[in-house]
Amino acid sequence: MKVLQALLISLIFTLPITAQQISPKVLKQRWQANWIAPQNVNLKDFGVFHFRKNFDLSQKPTTFIINVSGDNRYRLFVNGHFIGTGPARSDLMHWNFETFDIAQYLTQGKNTIAAVVWNFGEYMPAAQMSNKTGFIIQGNTELESVANTNNSWKVLQNQAYKPIPVEGSKLRTYIVVGCGEEVDATKFPSNWEKPSFDDSQWLSARTLEHGYISGTGSGAEWYLVPRTIPQMEEIHQNINTVRRFESTKTITMHDNWLKGKGSLTIPANSKTTILLDQTFETVAYPEIIVSGGKSADITFTYAEALIDEKWVKGNRNEIEGKRIIGIQDIFHPDGQAKSSFKPLWFRTYRYIEITIVTKEQPLAIDDYYGLKTGYPFEEKANFSSNDPSLQNIWKVGWQTARLCAGESYFDCPYYEQLQYTGDTRIQALISLYVSGDDRLMRKALTDFNNSMTSEGLTQSRYPCNTPQIIPTFSLFWVSMAYDYWMHRKDDAFMKTLMPNIEKVLGWYERKIDPQKNMLGAMNWWSFVDWAKPWRWNAISDIGGVPDGATDGNSSIISFQYAYTLRQAAAIYETYGDKEKAIYYRTLADLLSKSSYEQCWDATKNEVADTPDKKAFSQHANIFAILANAVPKANEKAIMDKILNDPSLTQATFYFRFYLTQALKKTGSASLYYDTLTPWRDMLKTGLTTFAEQADPTRSDCHAWSASPNYDFLATICGIMPDVPGFEEVRIQPSLGTLENISGKMPHPNGDITVKLNRKDKTGIQGEVTLPPNLSGRFVWNGKTVSLVAGKQVIDLE
């Protein structure tokens, strides 16, 4: 298995094609191409397969567009050049296909299109939905029809691969990212993707059904839709350092091989263990290049952090007395020069331990690096202040958000790689504010819309081959739709979501207890937060559930429902359904008033979690504020209780996003800067991404904890849409004790920038610049200044 030179440089080579460039026939008619598959195998089992088609062209074309999909996944090559990968994860009713213009890689004469397609079978990730092994290419026009998949294609099953199941019990946690891989290079068909490869012994592919676009045909196993997001990036990333090693034979250890300069020789008949430290967490395809070492066993173990004998992570930079445990791959070299191994799916790691057991032949490691991958977000925003520590929070937060974004948003890249609505709402806002790229947010909204169940709830995580329902996350999907509506002018898309928004709100309405006018008993998993008192219940198999959430009369969820009703009312009113808007606001008023009156404890001056007033949480009081349930005159007093009463059940990193929303609503946003202690504490433990929760934590990288990257711009700089579609902006900065701030964020019209300094004790001065065709207002201490496109000076007492 030789190194593919095309993989050693940063890519993606082939630019994505817009939907307008896809032939109308491809989008509206049954495809001429067939799904193809290998012969004589169970198409639902684990397997790795290579497909090839050789064809001649009379001249080099100027364009050559093909539409491609596979199940589970594929990587596509043209004349040995890597083109792209897919399909973007989805479900069978909305199965993505990618579109590539491959003309630049074609030549006059013989050409080869090749793809590796794999099916992880019973070991597939939870985020991977699947029917069975298959692959399809449909040429965009008659010119490209020579590439159409049919029985003229050839296929070979790669016998080099075996799955290595990932055992959650071994890791003592829930982990559903798929299997590790064991690869025997002696069985690998080297250079299979190149035109010079002899495929005469390969079998003809088996044809399955034709390709069907969603909305066509009389029945299909995959209903195809165009991909709406770009290809994931793959960028060369060196692994930084060797932290420790041991060997049964003498080795002179150096790190030149990690820089592609020279090689490290492992003696024959030896066992060597090398611990590598990327020095920061990353998501990448790790690739090793070796020479010699026939029949050796090379085991790779990947982990976010090391653990001590008590399974404690401690400071992530420290390795003394700690060991690694995690997902593994195994590679057996074939003894040839420059043999390489790269897993089919990416790995998440800070630390990698390589254990090498050689046989009769020494092994030379020529290079080892990662191909960093993920959604190609660009960091277009920035933030700075007189407190330089905020820069590190910004940097680590953006790294966290980047690692939790691929073909969907991930809750975490190591353990689940699942798109949960509760997480995704926060992640999407970070994406909008830091990159301005709304495509992944739009795809997420669509994914959850497609997940709608018959009873009127979206699934809590999607795409996912294991259904899960968290009703509160259905409400957050509505809130996420509201966020998109506020930040983007996209009426046609919003209208596609509104029928299911109505279904979600209707499900909750049917759960109202008419005696109390609060939500009554609810089925499914009413998760709110991983707060410590709301422990996991091994009998019911749920956790993070407050009092009343299951058996009825939870003020937290009643308030959340009212909060969401108000958001939905604003959307429906904009689109002309004033009666529904009035109805939703009236229902929100009823729930808010009743829940507040029954759960208000006058002795504590706090809102209880239920009418029996036995449990109190920050969460209930936060959502009481957000739902407009609290009398205006009492909002700041409750906010003070939220911040200063340690007896309240405390919000985790996740729910602190809503704590900040409550600060802003009560006019207390200046206190936000003082709430950043938990993020500073994470940095002190050597974390290079923000964790799921305070130690002890499962995940060291969880995007819901990256909310400061949104709030530095939306709260400290105060940049917020003032009307739907972000057609006007409100800038209401909240510096706290900061002396100066500077921020820039991308808007659909261009960049919004603020540069502000405190003036005496209560004043502010500086500059605000708005892009063309954007106006708004600047708000400070009750004073309002109109803003117009271009640069303007701010000077207020």
Residues 631/598, Cβ–Cβ less than 8 Å: no
**Claim to verify: residue 275 and residue 179 sit in the same structural domain:** no
Residue 5 has pLDDT above 80, yes or no: no
**Claim to verify: residue 244 and residue 219 sit in the same structural domain:** no
Let me know if residue 43 belongs to a domain: yes
Residues 731/774, Cβ–Cβ less than 8 Å: no
**Claim to verify: residue 217 and residue 189 sit in the same structural domain:** yes
How many whole angstroms separate alpha carbon 651 and alpha carbon 529? 7
- Closest by CA position to 12, among listed 81, 112, 109, 88: 81
- CA geometry: angle at 23 spanning 21 and 25, to 5°? 160
Let me know if residue 490 belongs to a domain: no
Let me know if residue 430 belongs to a domain: no
How many whole angstroms separate alpha carbon 725 and alpha carbon 485? 6
Q: Find the mean pLDDT for residues 530-553.
A: 93
Q: Find the mean pLDDT for residues 47-76.
A: 97
Q: Which of 213, 229, 245 is the C-terminal boundary of a domain?
A: 229
**Claim to verify: residue 666 and residue 764 sit in the same structural domain:** no
0.85 cut: is pTM over it?
A: yes
Six-digit token string for 209 = 């059904």
- How does residue 168 score in pLDDT terms, banded at 50, 70 and 90? confident
Residue 8 has pLDDT above 80, yes or no: no
Handedness of CA 11, 14, 20, 25 (dihedral sign): negative
**Claim to verify: residue 55 and residue 131 sit in the same structural domain:** yes
Let me know if residue 401 belongs to a domain: no
Let me know if residue 381 belongs to a domain: no
**Claim to verify: residue 526 and residue 641 sit in the same structural domain:** yes
- Can you give the pLDDT at residue 254? 85
The predicted-structure confidence for 544-597, as pLDDT tens digits, reads as follows 999 999 999 999 999 999 999 999 999 999 999 999 999 999 999 999 999 999
DSSP labels, 758-792: EETTTEEEEEEEE-TT-EEEEEETTEEEEE-SEEE
DSSP labels, 702-767: -GGGGTHHHHIIIIIS-EEESSGGG-EEEE----TT-SEEEEEEEETTEEEEEEEEEETTTEEEEE
Extended strands (E) in 460-567: 512-513, 518-519
For 97, how many CA atoms within 13 A lie in the half-sphere containing its CB? 30
Let me know if residue 195 belongs to a domain: yes
Q: Which of 374, 400, 419 is the C-terminal boundary of a domain?
A: 374
Q: What is the CATH number of the domain that holds 781?
A: 2.60.420.10
For residue 600, what are the β-bridge partners? 607
Residue 651's identity, in one-letter code, is A
- How does residue 17 score in pLDDT terms, banded at 50, 70 and 90? low
pLDDT over 70 for what percent of the chain? 97
Let me know if residue 523 belongs to a domain: yes
**Claim to verify: residue 169 and residue 36 sit in the same structural domain:** yes
Measured in whole angstroms, how far is the alpha carbon of residue 442 from the centre of its chain? 13
**Claim to verify: residue 184 and residue 282 sit in the same structural domain:** no
Q: Find the mean pLDDT for residues 197-217.
A: 96
Six-digit token string for 431 = 């994406």
**Residue 194: other Cβ atoms inside 10 A:** 16
How much is the mean pLDDT over the chain? 95
Residue 77 has pLDDT above 60, yes or no: yes
SS3 label, residue 340: strand
How many whole angstroms separate alpha carbon 780 and alpha carbon 770? 18
Q: What is the CATH number of the domain that holds 61?
A: 2.60.120.260
Let me know if residue 64 belongs to a domain: yes
Residues of the domain holding 264:
234-374
**Claim to verify: residue 551 and residue 629 sit in the same structural domain:** yes
Q: What are the C-alpha distances in Å from 381 to residues 137, 433, 439?
A: 39, 7, 17
The residues, ordered by sequence, that sit 6+ positions from 101 with a Cβ below 8 Å of its Cβ are 14, 15, 17, 21, 63, 64, 65
Q: Which of 196, 229, 262 is the C-terminal boundary of a domain?
A: 229
Cα pseudo-dihedral 472, 474, 477, 478, rounded to 10 = -90
**Claim to verify: residue 150 and residue 203 sit in the same structural domain:** yes
- How does residue 170 score in pLDDT terms, banded at 50, 70 and 90? confident
**Claim to verify: residue 248 and residue 176 sit in the same structural domain:** no
If one counts the domains in the chain, the total is 4
Q: Compute the radius of gyration of the chain from its Cα atoms.
A: 28
How many whole angstroms separate alpha carbon 675 and alpha carbon 695? 18
**Claim to verify: residue 109 and residue 165 sit in the same structural domain:** yes
Residue 274 has pLDDT above 60, yes or no: yes
